[in-house]
Structure 1
Amino acid sequence: MISNALSFVLPVTLKENPSKLKWRTRTDQYARLRFNLLIKSFLHHFDLDGLEKFLIICPQDHIADFCNLLRNITDDNRFEIINENEICPQLSENNYPIAGWYIQQILKLAAAKYMKTNFYLTLDSDIICKKYFNYSTLMLSGKAFMNIETPLDYDDLYLKSFSTREQKIKNSRLIRSSTLLNYKRKSLYKFQSYGETPAFLHTQSVLGLLNELSSLHQDWFTVLSRFKGWSEYSLYFQYLEKHNLINKLYINTGRSTVLDLDSSVWYPSATYRKKVSFTPDYILKQENSHGYFVAIQSYLDPQDWLPENVTDMGTFYKMLEETLLQIDTP
């Protein structure tokens, strides 16, 4: 395993599985713009000397489109586009309907067998790299930084009613995942949950997780495709808890050290305790900002968070790109 470089894993699609839910299909409309912005922000802010592989995973039918999009941005052959059925052959053999959100999570875990680095960083298409980073800024003595979230964080960020809702969602995922692992959570970890994408995954530990799930349930893919309510991070990090690996592999940090949760468009503006206007300058602010990435949740209704005088997401993404490329990097 390579110890001084990073790999990145990005599951993407241009079209979600058919759904009557508007929030599910809303993610399709600007998929190309989001992909373009993520890759450009990565090239602008990451020290490419530390890149081993950037793995882009998509459905077979979308490979040609993503190749064309990527070719217009970079010809670096470390950016590799691969069929999702090659990463996880069980997807093509499966007759059981799986929601796109779960496929995305399954692919992030299945990608471990393709990694040559000790750690890989997971990405989503609605992530943006907001400031300069390299291997050393996110790792310390071979350990990766890890976002930790607590009830106090949710109370600080959101209105009380929404904070309570968020805590219930997080706790539910932790409980469902611990059931799959046959694990009773230790009191040491009782009041903490783990940050969302981007997150560092330790390659050998992900493989260990999948082996353990197969040992407990005969086949890891079948149980994850049919059992609902888990998430990749609640599964993975509780696997580490169970085997006392957290402190050996990670440095526990705050809620905004990797993903800048405070600057991300995580929920509608009205749910935040403090009034916020998600302008490009606010999202990409450099001063008093610790995180290296921000998320702009693609499933949200834009009218619930777009700043005044911005009428559509296409305009907003263009404004964001202009602001992003003006940020100086070393």
Structure 2
Amino acid sequence: MKGDWTHFLLVADSDVPLFRSLATSSRQVISERDLLPSWLFVCPDPFSFMRRKLWLSPFSIPLRGWHVQQLRRMALARHISEPTMLTLDSDVVLIRDFDPADLWQDGRLALYRQENAIDASARSDHLKWLSHSERVLGCAPAQLPATDYISSLLPWRTDTCLQMLDHIEARHGQHWVRTMIRTRAFSECIIYGRFVDDVLHGAGHYAMPHPLCHSLWLGDSYARDLAGLESFVADLAPNHVCLQIQSFLGHSIANIRAVTTMA
């Protein structure tokens, strides 16, 4: 990645010692304990023979790691001074030269939005995520087909994220995390996108219709072997600066490394 940027590694408190050696003048390791309220705490999951973790609180049913990952991203806005937040999932690999500064145009930051992408036949929890964003933000119900804002390399304005957290707290009269976790069906990407479009009416942003990341989300999209991954990489578009192969799909690390090298 080009430019002078600070890299923040957001990790579970128990993992901080494992990542501490990666800290440099431009890379910070941040514990989730410094980001999240004290009443949200982690414990081993007995139903996975203690291999996985659960996050517990008095205000929600148990949360999984991918829920807390979203909360970490949102919480980071209150801990940094950089104007741009660029979030990458841990299974994202940058494959092309890229300077995030190019995402700014005349004082406005790119907002990824895929119009008419969510309809009544949506395969995942998109409809639940839309409903949750409406309850959290107080915006009108989305008209289907609705806009999708989800990708694996997303730029956010830090000041906009701060406005969003303040908006949620002012509307509900409680810590924003408590409002978020009333259900486990939420998407931080949709909440940010709808805050920009439905609350701020697009202020400070311009629409970016093409994703920066080429993502393999579903197991039935390509064959689960090296040939399938090669086909996936062959579908890279000029706008893609990185790719993501979901870890739970079961592709071998060797095959992933092979195709990222060829990309």
| 1:183 counterpart residue number | 139
For each residue in 1:83-140, what CA deviation from the matched residue of structure 2 results, as whole angstroms up to 9, or x when unmatched?
1101223334963432211101110000001221222111110111121111343222
- Residue 127 of structure 1: aligned partner: 92
Equivalence for 1:42: none
How big is the shift at 1:254?
2.0
**Structure 2 unpaired stretches of 5+:** 43-55
Whole-angstrom CA distance in 1 between matches of 2:221 and 2:239 = 24
Equivalent positions of 1:1-330 (< 5 A) are 46-47=1-2, 49-51=3-5, 53-68=6-21, 70=22, 76-90=24-38, 91-92=40-41, 95-96=57-58, 97-151=62-116, 164-166=121-123, 169-185=125-141, 191-217=146-172, 218-246=174-202, 248-256=203-211, 258-260=212-214, 264-270=215-221, 277-279=228-230, 282-283=232-233, 288-302=237-251, 313-320=252-259, 322-323=261-262
Task: Work out the CA distance in 2 between the residues paired with 1:134 and 1:108.
Answer: 20
Query: What is the TM-score with the length of structure 1 in the denominator?
Result: 0.64
Kept in 2, the 8 Å contact 1:147–1:259? The answer is: no
Local SS of the residue matching 1:179: helix
CA RMSD of aligned residues (A): 3.0
Contact kept, 8 Å, 2:118 with 2:127, in 1: the verdict is no
> Would you tell me which structure has more strand in proportion to its own residues?
2
Higher RCO structure, 1 or 2 (CA under 8 Å, sep 6+): 1
Normalising by structure 2, we get a TM-score of 0.79
- Distance in 1, Cα, partners of 2:139 & 2:218: 31
Note the C-alpha offset of 1:316: 1.7
Q: 1:270 Cα shift?
A: 4.3
Aligned-pair CA distance for 1:237: 1.7
Paired residue type of 1:125: S
2:213/2:242 contact within 8 Å kept: yes
**Change beyond 3 A, Cα 1:259–1:270:** closer
Do the aligned residues in 1 keep the contact of 2:13 with 2:31 (CA within 8 Å)? yes
